[in-house]
Amino acid sequence: MAVSLYVVLVLATTALGASIAPSETQVVEKSSCGRVWVTVHSPEKRYLGQTLIDVLELNWDFRECSTIPRQIGLFANRPLSWNNAIAIFAIGSPDGHIITNVSLGEGTLPAGWDTGAGPRGPICLWPWVGAGDNNIEAFNCLKIQPTWMEDNADKINKLRIGELALAGSHNAGAWRFDTELSSLARDNFILCQDRSIWAQLVHGIRYLDFRIGYYDFYDKEEDRYWLNHNLVRVRPLVPLLREIRAFLDITNELVFLDAHHFPIGFYNPDGTPIREVHQGLLRIIQRELGPHIAPANRFATGAGSRGPTVQSLIDANQRLHFSYVDNIIVNENNWLWPNLPHLWARTNNPTELFLYLDQAISASPQPTARSPMHSAMAQTTPSVLDILLLRGSLRINADGVNRRVTARLTSLWRPNANIVSTDFFLGNDVIDVSIAISVERAEQL
C-alpha cells in the first residue's frame, strides 16, 4: 500500500520511537531462512512535489530458501502484526529492495549514545522491517552496534586483526563542511558520509579512512591540519581525533585509523616529505590518542602475517591501530603501522569496480605485505569530466554500488575480505554482515 504524504512528513519531522534501547532479552533480528534489513537511500527522492532525504529502503534475500514470503513491510516498532505496518509491499523476487517514501528523520542516536556511553549490545532506531505471508516470519531493525566487538569477545578476541571482517568508511571525515567557505550539509562531489566520526563508530564502523591536508596560514599548529577530500578542506582534524578518543575511553572496542593520503602541504615539489609537517601531525596524534595507540614496534608480527590477536590489544588496553601511508616516515617512527594496502579500482564504472574487487580480494592478503590488513575501497571514483559536467553525484554513485557490496560481501568476498570501505555506509548492510563473518571465522578456528 502506498504511504500518504502526511505519514511521510510526520515521520520525517518526529523522533518516532525515539530509539529506546532493547531489553537484554529483546531480539532485534530473526528469520528461519534468509534475511531482511533496513538501509538509508543516499540520493534525494522526489515524492508528491516534496524532496525527501534519508528515505528508508527495505531489503530482502531469500535466495537460499524453499519458499519466498509474499510481502514486506515498514514498521515503527518490532513487527508483531501486519495491522501495525506503516507500509506494505509485495515481494516478487527471491532478493531485492523497495525504496519507500518514508524518511528516517533526525539521525539521533538511541539510548544515550548521542552524547556518551549507553547500554551495550545492538540497539534499534525506530525503523523496523518485517516479511512473511499471513504472519511475520522475518524481521530486523536499523540499529547501532557500539559495542559489537566486546559483545562477541568470547569468540572474536582469538582472531588476529587481519582475520577480522570490518566495516570501514571511505573519506570518513568528509561528512559535513566546517569551513569559513561553506556550511553545506549535502554536496554532490565532496561529501562521502552522512554521519559524524562519533556516529560512525557508534553505528559499528571500525576503520576510518582519513585524508589530511596541511595549511600553514593558521597561527596555531593544531589548526593547520584538516580532513580533506582531495584539495578541498572539509573539517578540522583535532576535534575529530577527540571524538575517536572519547569513543575509545568509554568502550572496549578496537579502532583502525588510516592516514591514507596527504593531498596538500605534506610534500616538497620534488615529492620528498616535509618532515616537520609530518612530525607535527604525529605529535598531535600522540597527544590526542597516545594512551590508546598500539605501537607497531610492540605488536607487529612480520611481513605476510595477519598481525596480533584482538585479545593481545585488549589485554594491553592499546586498541587504536594507526597506519600511515608514507613508509619513509614509518621507517623513521617505528611505532607507526606501515601503509595498509588499499584495493582501489579507480573507476567510475560499477562493472569495472566489481571485476577489480572480485579479483583483488580473492588474491588478498598478499604474502609479502608489510601490513597485516587490507581495505577494499568499494566505491566508484568520478572522473574529471563527471565533476566538470556535474554528471551524477557521490550519492548517486554510492546508490549504484552499495546494495551490490552487501551481496558480494555475503557471498563472493566472504572468505577473504578484511576491511570493506564504502561511501554513505547506511546505504548498505556491511556492518551487520561483517560482524557475522568475524564471528563465523572465529568459530572455525
Q: Mean per-residue pLDDT for 342-362?
A: 97
Q: How confident is the model at residue 19 (pLDDT cuts 50, 70, 90)?
A: very low
What was the pLDDT predicted at 1?
Answer: 38
What was the pLDDT predicted at 14?
Answer: 34
Distance CA 206, CA 430 (A): 11
Domain's final residue, options 143, 172, 196:
143
Q: Is 191 found in the same domain as 119? A: no
Q: Is 428 found in the same domain as 355? A: yes
Helical pair 237-250 and 275-289, crossing angle rounded to 10 deg: 30
Q: How confident is the model at residue 187 (pLDDT cuts 50, 70, 90)?
A: confident
What was the pLDDT predicted at 7?
Answer: 40
Q: Mean per-residue pLDDT for 426-435?
A: 98
Q: Is 169 found in the same domain as 104? A: no
Q: Is residue 113 part of a domain?
A: yes
Question: What's the gap between Cα 355 and its chain centre?
Answer: 22
Helical pair 394-410 and 350-362, crossing angle rounded to 10 deg: 40
Q: Is residue 184 part of a domain?
A: yes
Q: Is 172 found in the same domain as 275? A: yes
Q: Is 174 found in the same domain as 95? A: no
Is it the case that residue 63 has pLDDT exceeding 90? yes
Mean pLDDT of the chain: 92
* Model confidence pLDDT, tens digit, residues 231-259: 899 999 999 999 999 999 999 999 999 99
Grid cell for residue 91: 515481494
Q: How confident is the model at residue 17 (pLDDT cuts 50, 70, 90)?
A: very low
Distance CA 363, CA 416 (A): 8
Backbone angles phi, psi at 136, to 5 degrees: -85, 115
Total domains in the fold of the chain:
2
Among the ranges given (145-154, 184-193, 418-427), the one the predictor scored with the smallest mean pLDDT: 184-193
Closest residue by Cα to residue 329 from 267, 380, 284, 404 = 267
Beta bridge partners of 212: 227
Q: Is residue 16 part of a domain?
A: no
Quick one: DSSP state of residue 109? P
Quick one: DSSP state of residue 38? E
Q: How confident is the model at residue 384 (pLDDT cuts 50, 70, 90)?
A: confident
Q: Is 214 found in the same domain as 122? A: no
Q: Is residue 68 part of a domain?
A: yes
Q: List, in order, residues 6 or more apart from 12 with CB less than 8 Å away.
A: 52, 102, 103, 104, 105
Q: Is 154 found in the same domain as 125? A: no
What is the share, in percent, of the chain residues with pLDDT greater than 70?
93
Domain's final residue, options 92, 108, 143:
143
Distance CA 306, CA 342 (A): 16
Beta bridge partners of 255: 320
Q: Is 222 found in the same domain as 345? A: yes
Among the ranges given (122-131, 178-187, 209-218), the one the predictor scored with the smallest mean pLDDT: 178-187
Distance CA 251, CA 301 (A): 26
What was the pLDDT predicted at 25?
Answer: 52
Is it the case that residue 122 has pLDDT exceeding 50? yes
Q: Which domain holds residue 334?
A: 148-443
Q: Is 359 found in the same domain as 338? A: yes
Buried/exposed 289-307: b ≥16 CB within 10 Å, e otherwise:
beebbbbbeebbbeeebbb
What was the pLDDT predicted at 376?
Answer: 98
Q: Mean per-residue pLDDT for 11-39?
A: 66
Q: Is 164 found in the same domain as 122? A: no
Grid cell for residue 375: 581495505
Is it the case that residue 24 has pLDDT exceeding 80? no
Q: Is 299 found in the same domain as 251? A: yes
Q: Is residue 101 part of a domain?
A: yes
Helical pair 394-410 and 430-443, crossing angle rounded to 10 deg: 20
What was the pLDDT predicted at 282?
Answer: 98
Q: How confident is the model at residue 108 (pLDDT cuts 50, 70, 90)?
A: confident
Among the ranges given (103-107, 268-272, 402-406), the one the predictor scored with the smallest mean pLDDT: 103-107
Domain's final residue, options 106, 123, 143:
143
Q: Is 428 found in the same domain as 382? A: yes
Q: Mean per-residue pLDDT for 407-424?
A: 98
Residue 128, Cβ neighbours under 10 Å: how many?
28
What was the pLDDT predicted at 100?
Answer: 98
pTM of the model: 0.93
* Model confidence pLDDT, tens digit, residues 132-185: 999 999 999 999 999 999 999 999 999 999 999 999 999 999 988 876 556 565
What is the share, in percent, of the chain residues with pLDDT greater than 90?
83
Q: Is residue 114 part of a domain?
A: yes
CATH code of the domain covering residue 277: 3.20.20.190
Q: Is residue 14 part of a domain?
A: no
Q: List, in order, residues 6 or more apart from 16 with CB less than 8 Å away.
A: 10, 76, 105, 126
